[in-house]
Structure 1
């Protein structure tokens, strides 16, 4: 990965992040392996962004095929209709950046046999064969697959990021999940999962969820941005970041793991995390009060405000009766200027006006 600033270098703009002090060692991106589960509206764009960023290796999992109905989204093209999504994605991504290594798996991870193989690949499929991947990204569109990823990552202690877009296509989210440290997907499950409802019964014939390339592109961008910050250790990684397109609202929060989580391995990871935390030496932060340093003032001069408390209250105007603990940001002066009143400055210079103000 060269930092040479020439038009023929595909990494020159990325390496500029290092020269500008944003990232200490951008070249490390070539050593990382990321598994992307679900190569649809969010997953395909996520895989493309990571490929353009020079990721070392991508593992792609999906069992669906490219359809013309997918053309409202980014990435896939009409001539790829009928191909498996992972096959079409690999072909496109290799043309974008041949330096990236790929593994593709055209199967449903929720079946028993495939789930076992899925666990084996995320625990041994890194660039350095035999080691676990650095991050798993969930870009699936159903709860069953999310729960399968959650189960696998809890059992393996594998950090992963979950993402999703709403059925009405105007909101989405990303979430960092560190087994034992943060809430897993089962710690606070959605209603469909909590109620043990078969989600297939919720879908009506002839009715499909909406999808916007804009919303999916935003969510994919937020996801990859957090992947880069997590892997290359710069900035602040969001534990949970939502996106509401209707108000351009981005709520952010962090959720602690649930001690009563239904997932056995989640509870086990929580215990392991507590032991690690207890073994860490506690660092006491002592706040030092800064001494106020005054310049020598042998004449005893002091600053005294010419405005009294009464003047401030009068200028603030009437204060409304508010509940305890609530104050107004500012108030309008109670006395408004008399309508039609003006200041006659026609025959006075700026110096004269200033002198007049000083004599008030």
Structure 2
């Protein structure tokens, strides 16, 4: 019977159990994940089951690390996610959070686009650290991502996006995430992408400032391949700043929408 142990194809006996396999392959493993779920009682394995064996606190080798990173996924997800290329336009509160969530699920390639540097006020909502102040955001975020999932391919583009370069910049991306602060830049990017790449999916955001209700942030399918996240009203303004909790909620709406598109789950 064929199963996968730490993502390697292995032949085992019919009716072998997860704990029997653990005791034979990696007896000291104290975490056993079967098909995305940590088990605490033994189960009989079936054809094509996926089992990951982890020793708590041990730094795994490269092969085991990638297997561990995806061990909690729903079976069948990783193979499809790893083939996807996602472009992120803007690496601030939205873009940096989206990138981290996608890296954690094992996205194949991230195309990171921003012209700016990390400055101290960014740290209230963006996924950078004090050591990154003054660095290009593309460089700083690539540094963060490699310490989360070194198996994600990262391409950096340090540039200001406008009509002259948007098409060339995102020609390889399957999905583009709009993550700008400025409404004019948002509109320019989305309109250009819709015009130049009618086949690409776009996931944009508008309205996540302040500390209003979590539940006002929603994902809407505005067009066949255009999704918009946010509450449509709470833009950053005098007396209404951008803060980590709601920005991260919106960003993870975007990240989950990207994941659903990759998995061909298009409805909201």
TM-score range, shorter chain: 0.5 to 0.7
Check conservation: 1:150, 1:184, Cα contact below 8 A. Answer: no
Q: Which residue of 2 aligns with 1:61?
A: 113
Partners in 1 of 2:221 and 2:178 — Cα distance? 10
Q: Which residue of 1 aligns with 2:53?
A: 6
User: Aligned in 2, Cα 1:141/1:11: closer, same or farther, shift over 3 Å?
Assistant: farther
User: Aligned in 2, Cα 1:216/1:184: closer, same or farther, shift over 3 Å?
Assistant: closer
The answer to whether the aligner puts 1:168 opposite 2:210 as a matched pair is: yes
The answer to whether the aligner puts 1:231 opposite 2:262 as a matched pair is: yes
Structure 1: segments with no counterpart, 5+ residues: 126-132, 192-201, 239-360
Higher RCO (Cα < 8 Å, 6 or more apart): 2
How does the TM-score come out when normalised to structure 1? 0.50
The answer to whether the aligner puts 1:96 opposite 2:109 as a matched pair is: no
Write the deviation string for residues 51-94 of structure 1: whole angstroms up to 9, x where unpaired. Answer: 11110111111122111111212411011111111111111112
List aligned pairs for 1:13-92, cutoff 5 A.
14-19=70-75, 24-92=76-144
How far did 1:38 drift?
Answer: 1.0
Check conservation: 2:92, 2:126, Cα contact below 8 A. Answer: no
How far did 1:37 drift?
Answer: 0.7
Q: Which residue of 1 aligns with 2:192?
A: 152
Q: Which stretch shows the higher mean deviation, 53-62 or 155-164?
A: 155-164
Check conservation: 1:109, 1:148, Cα contact below 8 A. Answer: no
Partners in 1 of 2:128 and 2:72 — Cα distance? 30
Partners in 2 of 1:224 and 1:183 — Cα distance? 14
The secondary structure found in structure 1 opposite 2:92 is coil
The answer to whether the aligner puts 1:137 opposite 2:158 as a matched pair is: no
User: Aligned in 2, Cα 1:25/1:166: closer, same or farther, shift over 3 Å?
Assistant: closer
Q: Which residue of 2 aligns with 1:331?
A: none
List aligned pairs for 1:167-246, cutoff 5 A.
167-170=209-212, 172-176=217-221, 178=223, 181=224, 210-234=241-265, 237-238=267-268
Q: Whose radius of gyration is greater, 1 or 2?
A: 1
The answer to whether the aligner puts 1:107 opposite 2:159 as a matched pair is: yes
User: Aligned in 2, Cα 1:25/1:50: closer, same or farther, shift over 3 Å?
Assistant: closer
Alignment coverage as a number of residue pairs: 203
Check conservation: 1:86, 1:105, Cα contact below 8 A. Answer: yes
The alignment yields a C-alpha RMSD, in angstroms, of 3.0
How far did 1:11 drift?
Answer: 4.0
The answer to whether the aligner puts 1:122 opposite 2:170 as a matched pair is: yes
Check conservation: 2:118, 2:132, Cα contact below 8 A. Answer: yes
Structure 2: segments with no counterpart, 5+ residues: 1-5, 8-49, 55-59
Write the deviation string for residues 223-265 of structure 1: whole angstroms up to 9, x where unpaired. Answer: 111211110235x642xxxxxxxxxxxxxxxxxxxxxxxxxxx
How does the TM-score come out when normalised to structure 2? 0.66
